[in-house]
Amino acid sequence: MSVRVRYAPSPTGEPHVGNIRSALFNWLYARSVGGTFIVRIEDTDQARLVPGAEDAILDALEWLGLDWDEGPRKGGPFGPYVQSERQALGIYGEHADRLVAEGKAYLCYCTPARLDAMRKAQQAAGRSPGYDRRCLDPAEAERAQAENPVPVVRFKMPVEGTIVVHDLVRGDVSFEASLLDDFVLLKSDGFPTYHLANVVDDHLMEITHVMRAEEWLPSAPRHLELYKALGYEMPHLVHLPMILGPDRSKLSKRHGATSALHYRDDGYLPDAMFNFLALLGWSLDDSTDVISREELVARFSIERILASPAVFNAEKLDWFNGVYIRQLGVEELADAMLPWLEAGLGATIDRDYLLRIIPLERERLRKLSDAPEMLSFFFEEQPAVDPEKLVGKGMDREATRGALEGALTVAEGAEPWTANALEPAYRALAEKLGLKTGGLFGAMRVAVTGRTAAPPLFDTMAVLGRERCLARLRHALGALGG
């Protein structure tokens, strides 16, 4: 039987990186075994829906190259793939009705106020909270109905014993039945709960493996009983480890951005993010971290999914991004950087000029969004120059003036205008002026770039070109004052 896996997000907020990690593992597994990857939108909790969230989630998948075989924007033979649309077809109601008819579920008329009071009393008495099964008694149910005519449907769970679910990563996991109450299948608005819709759809969509975050593990014993009651076979379960922040508390906004789209919009490369997320709960071995998408597909296995929590380390992500940036060819990197530069600098960028700049800056670049700031001095007409910074260590204003005047003269006559020719010419100048090269080159660097830290000076001057350098040296002399 061929593998069918699904990513089943609820459109209740941003595409959280932890949630997208679930999508990625499902995708990887499907692609690694030639299976089918399905996206299903679980939007039955109408109160929690956030407008735009579904599109944001799908956009995040597309950005990361997690293409799906069936689902929204795509269709497929098991549609519709949005639960509210399936609800309108009566799919969940039919299932609930069948369970009620078979005595495996029952109508509950208890009011929210009663349930609330019950919960408080249980808490006060130190008992675990759960429905007290009042409406299981027909006489009681009738009495409750008089007060509240619109029922929910509850599933009849076993009251005692142990429920054992098997997880492919964690092995057998046991749950005390007495701690699991008769949960709601169908709400009073006629919408199914997550449990009912999820189980029914996984069955109808012929899902073979459920891979989802560990936080859903407590739902598994409920689902197991529900599968049994419906006479359906339960898919294999794979719960993915929790994702923590560096302080080892659950990853949240406190740790920084959690939306996958934030990373897209902040200039991360999808391949870097892909590699980084793949290692949140899976490993190839104990040491390899840079793994291409193709290799991940080839090597992914459920056996190497970890049970222990993964730590989301934003510095590591930056490191990955640097690695992937350096793996790009100059042309590819130019294409990736151009929109960022044009937006950030508000100017049209000469691509050929950029192609010559990239080799100088590629090593230092961590993310595309840093490019405008990092490269601005190449494009500005005249970068701002702070006269204080022109005067380097062991120099005074006079010496700096002499240095810059000498630099200007050399620049006027240097032939050819290449880094290889410029360097000896300027070393000779330092000697002639009796200056340390550090002092001369430092002043020149500030003059031509406006910065104290920049790529190697003569390569930078070569790329900037003679005219720009002359203009900037003259400007620096002006800034230095008489």
Residues that bind ligand GLU (CB under 6 A): 8-10, 42, 194, 198, 212, 216
Q: State phi, psi for 11 to the nearest 5 degrees.
A: -80, 65
Q: In what helix (H) or strand (E) does residue 443 lie, and over which residues does it extend? A: helix 437-449
Least spacing, CB of residue 16 vs ligand GLU, in Å: 9
Least spacing, CB of residue 23 vs ligand GLU, in Å: 10
In three state form, how does the secondary structure of 236-288 look? Answer: EEEEECCEECCCCCECCHHHCCCEHHHHHHCCCCHHHHHHHHHCCCECCCCCC
Residue type, position 37, single letter = F
Find residue 171's DSSP bridge partners. 167
* CB closer to ligand GLU out of 87 and 198: 198
Least spacing, CB of residue 129 vs ligand GLU, in Å: 22
Q: How far apart are CA 278 and CA 27, in angstroms?
A: 11
Least spacing, CB of residue 212 vs ligand GLU, in Å: 3
* CB closer to ligand GLU out of 10 and 275: 10
- Of 120, 250, 253, 432, the active-site residue reads 253
b (16+ CB within 10 A) / e for 338-347 = bebbeebbee
Would you give the distance in Å from CA 293 to the centre of its chain?
Answer: 16
**Cβ-closest position to ligand GLU:** 212
Q: State phi, psi for 378 to the nearest 5 degrees.
A: -70, -25
Least spacing, CB of residue 371 vs ligand GLU, in Å: 35
Note the maximum CA span of the chain.
108
Q: How far apart are CA 22 and CA 65, in angstroms?
A: 14
Least spacing, CB of residue 198 vs ligand GLU, in Å: 5
- Ranges of H-type helices in 266-350: 270-278, 293-299, 314-327, 330-345
Torsion of CA 367, 370, 374, 376, to 10 degrees: 130
Least spacing, CB of residue 203 vs ligand GLU, in Å: 13
Q: How far apart are CA 336 and CA 405, in angstroms?
A: 39
* CB closer to ligand GLU out of 83 and 449: 83
* CB closer to ligand GLU out of 198 and 460: 198
Spatial CA neighbour of 386 closest among 476, 471, 464: 476
Q: How far apart are CA 72 and CA 76, in angstroms?
A: 9
* CB closer to ligand GLU out of 216 and 319: 216
Spatial CA neighbour of 186 closest among 45, 85, 104, 92: 92
Instruction: State the sign of the Cα–Cα–Cα–Cα dihedral 14, 236, 174, 181.
Output: positive
Please answer whether residues 415 and 462 qualify as being in contact, where contact means their C-beta atoms are separated by less than 8 angstroms.
no
Please answer whether residues 204 and 78 qualify as being in contact, where contact means their C-beta atoms are separated by less than 8 angstroms.
yes
Least spacing, CB of residue 8 vs ligand GLU, in Å: 4
**Token pair 């870097």 is at which residue?**
272
DSSP-derived letter for residue 213 is E
Residue 13 φ/ψ region, left for φ over 0, alpha for ψ in the -120 to 50 degree band, beta for the rest: left
Least spacing, CB of residue 459 vs ligand GLU, in Å: 50
* CB closer to ligand GLU out of 8 and 443: 8
Residue 457 burial (CB count, 10 A): 19
Catalytic, 253? Answer: yes
Would you please indicate which residues are annotated as catalytic (active-site) residues? Answer: 253
